[in-house]
Amino acid sequence: MIKVLKEMDKIIISGHANYADSNDIVCASVSSIMYTTVNAILNINEEAITFEDDNNKCTITIKSHDDITDKLIDNMMLLLTELKDKYPSNIEIK
């Protein structure tokens, strides 16, 4: 199961969806949503977030709040929530 933990200015995404042995659409969707959001924020303002990927978990730390960063993070969380609603056995959000 993929776990998404949001606490204040930190978002941690870890685990594997285990939706399918190959071509796991849930994992691919989470990765796509997360990396698109991170790249968009960093392209607009390199100082807004830090991003770490250690192959076991990804951590996004919000360093500065501005309208665009906040909207992109909110959008990411909304998309992940919609994915969780569709695949509740494969993704958990706290």
Residue-wise pLDDT for 30-71, tens only, equals 999 999 999 999 999 999 999 999 988 999 999 999 999 999
- Banded pLDDT at 22 (limits 50, 70, 90): confident
Model pLDDT, residue 3: 97
Q: Which two tokens stand for residue 4?
A: 């998404």
CATH of 2-93, one of 3.30.450.40, 3.30.70.1490, 1.20.1440.230, 3.40.50.720: 3.30.70.1490
Coil, helix or strand at residue 65: coil
Q: Report the distance separating Cα 23 and Cα 44, nearest Å.
A: 31
pTM of the model: 0.94
Helices 25-44 and 67-86 cross at an angle (nearest 10°) of 180
Given a contact cutoff of 8 angstroms between Cβ atoms, the answer to whether 47 and 64 are in contact is yes
Pairing assessment for the beta strands 10-14 and 57-62 based on DSSP bridges: antiparallel
* Domain ranges, ordered by start, for the chain: 2-93
Q: Which two tokens stand for residue 19?
A: 């939706």
pLDDT tens digit sequence for 68-84:
999 999 999 999 999 99
